[in-house]
A and B are shown apart, each in its own frame.
Chain A
Amino acid sequence: MTSPIGGISSLFPSAALGATTGVAGTAATSATQAAQSTSGTDFASVLASSMDQLQSTQATADNLATQAATGDLRDVHDYMIASNEASLATEMVVAIKNQAVSAFNEIMRMQV
């Protein structure tokens, strides 16, 4: 079956549907295992790597801010670009977080 939103249907393997008929907990755990074993870049690793990147951009910006304060800064624009980049990276991570939270809320609101 070809599904237009394949990413969503892959979250619900047939084992999970089977679990609703019986109250067997083992079927439900096998469903979560199936969800975890999906290959490719999963959301958590995307979020973690963007967090790492945010941390390094903010460290660069902080470093340049210190240089600006102590008078060691050679190029004014270096600091402005670094702070701009840090603010963009923060916006990006916040956007990713917001999408994750809204996806979670959407699932929590689902009628079973």
Chain B
Amino acid sequence: MAIFDTLSISGSGMTAHRKWLDAVSDNISNINDVSATSEDAFKERFVDVQANEYGSGEGGVRVAGVTFGSGEGRIVYEPDNPLADANGNVKYPDIDLGDQMTELMIAQRGYQANVTAISRATDAYQAALRLGKG
């Protein structure tokens, strides 16, 4: 779009933050996944964002890809677990809930900031369209 650019730019920011929220909620929902020590634990998801080049075409941000954390996990002694190995160990994903909550808050605030940018831009455009009406 050419004329109301702010809306689509902030929209791309909202999409990026929505995907970040998706990744964080995915990490939190899988935080207690148990796996055998012989296989990889659940890998933490990270969203990679990149700026669209401003000036040439559209501005804003896009999700360039998703990277995964290590599958090494942490070894927990749970001999009752059916997945436990001979030594009674299982693997849990190495995800810190505190980190995820912090990321969740940052992503949510970023999403809200983009919403505010859109509503302020809308107000500004509407004020411009009322020019000359006294």
Which A residues touch B118, using CB under 8 A? Answer: 81, 84
User: B14 near A77 (CB under 8 angstroms)?
Assistant: yes
Interface size on A, residues (CB 8 A): 14
B88 touches A (CB below 8 Å) = no
Measured in the bound complex, the distance between the Cα atoms of B115 and A92 in whole Å is 22
The answer to whether A85 touches B1, judged by C-beta atoms less than 8 angstroms apart, is yes
Q: A-B contact count, CB below 8 Å?
A: 42
| Cβ–Cβ contact A81 & B8, under 8 A | yes
Residues of B within 8 A of A88 (CB): 4, 7, 122, 125-126, 129
| Most B C-beta atoms less than 10 A away, residue of A57, A81, A85 | A81
Main SS of chain B's interface residues? helix
Name the distance in Å between B3's Cβ and chain A's nearest Cβ. Answer: 7
Contacting pair A84 B122 (CB below 8 A): yes
**Is there an interface contact between B4 and A85, defined as CB atoms closer than 8 Å?**
yes
Docked complex: B1-47 residues within 8 A CB-CB of A = 1-4, 7-8, 10-11, 14-15, 18
- Determine if A95 is an interface residue (Cβ-Cβ < 8 Å): yes
Complex Cα gap A75–B18 (Å):
8
Is A95 touching B129 in the complex (CB atoms < 8 A)?
yes
Q: A84-B122, A91-B126 known; A78 and B4 CB under 8 Å? A: no
**Contact among B7, B15, B115, B132 with A85 in the assembled complex (CB-CB below 8 Å):** B7
How far apart are the CA atoms of A99 and B14 in the complex, in Å? 35
Q: What is the interface of chain A, defined by CB distance below 8 A to chain B?
A: 53, 57, 75, 77-78, 81, 84-85, 88-89, 91-92, 95, 99
A-B contact pairs, 12 of them (CB 8 A): A75-B18, A77-B11, A77-B14, A77-B15, A77-B115, A78-B15, A84-B118, A84-B122, A85-B7, A85-B8, A91-B126, A92-B3
Q: Which 4 A-B pairs have the closest CB atoms?
A: A81-B11, A77-B14, A95-B129, A91-B129
Apart from A77-B11, A81-B14, A84-B7, 20 more pairs, CB < 8 Å? A53-B2, A57-B1, A75-B14, A75-B15, A75-B18, A77-B14, A77-B15, A77-B18, A78-B15, A81-B8, A81-B118, A85-B1, A85-B4, A85-B7, A88-B125, A88-B126, A89-B4, A91-B129, A92-B3, A92-B125
